[in-house]
Structure 1
Amino acid sequence: MLDTALAIIRDEGADRLTLGHLAARAGISKPVAYDHFGTRSKLLIELYKSIDQAQAAALQAALTSGERSIEETIEVLASAYIHCYADTSGEWHAIGAALAGSEEKDAVYQELLDGYVQLFAAVLKPYVDLQQAELERRCIGLIGAGEALSAAMARGNCGEAEAADTFATLILGGLRTPFSCQSGGET
């Protein structure tokens, strides 16, 4: 049913995805669709999670093949993360827009982002001399940058390669040990 729902979004747009329309396209009765998902919002959440699981699996696969330098690891990490958005042909953003304002979506989205923060931290930890909490805070910022670059790419403001290169540069810069800032007007 999720594949059919995704096809509806691709072919007709997210606004056309209803449980009744899904049932008709999938060749099942409406009660089956309603029993399985309950509401349109829950269907959209399941689609959102399904796309994310596929993206996370692709990212994991890209990162588990061979030893790399930090630069090579960052390049793979950035390219795979950005490619996940390019690979969804806009469905991810369409589903997100259809769920806009939903408390369920906000909770699920935060859970997914937290998962990427943990993944980035685990992949980058061997290359940096940062405390875990500091590394995770930096990864939160990096994921935010990746999200913004992915959205810019989806809007047509840059290509996939440009977004990935910029993201890799930001990741590398974000892992460097910062200079110490002192308050009180000293420079």
Structure 2
Amino acid sequence: MSGQEPAEVRRRAPRLAKAERRRHLLETALRIVREEGADRLTLGHLAARADVSKPVAYDHFGTRSGLLIDLYRWIDIERVTVFRERLSAGCRTLDETAAILAAAYIACAGDTSDEFHAVGAALTGSAEKAEVFQELLDQNVQMFVSVLEPHAVMTGPELERYCVGIVGAGEALAAALVRGRCSEEEAVRSFTGVIRGGLLASGR
């Protein structure tokens, strides 16, 4: 024996902690969807692109459906986290906060060309999609609560219920935008009014 590792072993990605490996796999999966489309996202192709063995990919996600569900959830969580951090930086008036919140939410929810919607489309017919979608809506509600809390005089439960309504309005306006019933500017303007209107009314 020459003492050298086979080329296949040498090319494998370095060993990572499980959480780091999972993030690497999800980031690679996102690149596949972005560059090649969601239809190309399989566990075997993910393993090849991430330079890991197939058992590693199967160990993390189990099935292609499991991979799509986890990627769908991860994209939204990452997006919400960045959004919350951006809005929590600095002091803003209610009008400024409502305008930024409305513009960002409508842009994300109404953009059917991004990776989140591509993965969601690939999950069509999956029994788990509705459950995960509701989970993500709940996370969006909590994001709205955290961003709007400094401007609210409501109790915590009242604000949470109000934000459930806000998110519902945002989803409906984004759907109207997608169907061509309004422009993005019109949807943002209406959503801004919904966000600020209820909070202003509650303070009277």
- Give the TM-score range, shorter chain: 0.7 to 0.9
CA distance in 2, matches of 1:146, 1:160: 12
Aligned to 1:168: 192
Which residue does 2:156 correspond to in 1?
A: 132
Match of 2:105 in 1: 81
Deviation for aligned residue 1:176: 4.9
Matched residue, 1:33: 57
Match of 1:65 among 64, 82, 89: 89
Per-residue CA deviations over 1:107-144 (Å, capped at 9, x if unaligned) read 22222211221221232233233333332222112112
TM-aligned CA distance change 1:30 to 1:13, over 3 Å: same
Residue of structure 1 in register with 2:171 after alignment: 147
In structure 1, distance between residues paired with 2:179 and 2:185 = 15
State the match for 1:104 in structure 2: 128
1:26-70: CA deviations, max 9, x gaps? 333222211221111111122112211221122112211221221
Q: Unmatched 5+ residue regions in structure 2?
A: 1-24
Does structure 2 conserve the Cα–Cα contact (< 8 Å) formed by 1:82 and 1:164?
Answer: yes
Alpha-carbon distance between aligned partners in 1 of 2:88 and 2:172, rounded to the nearest angstrom = 26
1:86-114 deviation digits (Å, cap 9, x = unpaired): 78942111111222343332222222211
* Contact 1:52 1:112 (8 Å CA) reproduced: yes
Contact 1:58 1:84 in 2 (8 A): no
Superposition RMSD in Å = 2.7
Aligned length: 178
- How far apart, in 2, do the equivalents of 1:153 and 1:54 lie? 24
1-side partners of 2:111 and 2:162: how far apart?
A: 26
Identity of aligned residues (%): 58
Whole-Å Cα distance in 2 between the matches of residues 177 and 16 of structure 1?
A: 50
Partner of 2:79: 55
TM-score (norm 2): 0.72
Matched, 1:120 2:151: no
Q: Residue by residue, what CA displacement relative to the aligned partner does 1:134-158 show, whole Å, maximum 9, x if unpaired?
A: 3222211211222233445566766
Partner of 2:3: none
Contact in 2 for aligned 1:58/1:80 (Cα 8 Å) = no
Q: Name the stretch that deviates more: 87-96 or 153-162.
A: 153-162
- Provide the C-alpha distance between the structure 2 equivalents of 1:168 and 1:138, rounded to a whole number of angstroms: 14
Q: What TM-score do you get using the length of structure 1 for normalisation? A: 0.78
Please, which runs of 5 or more residues in structure 1 have no aligned partner?
179-187
For residues 97 and 45 of structure 1, what CA distance do their matches in structure 2 show?
A: 11
Give the secondary-structure state (helix, strand or coil) at the position aligned to 1:102: coil
2:52 maps to amino acid: I
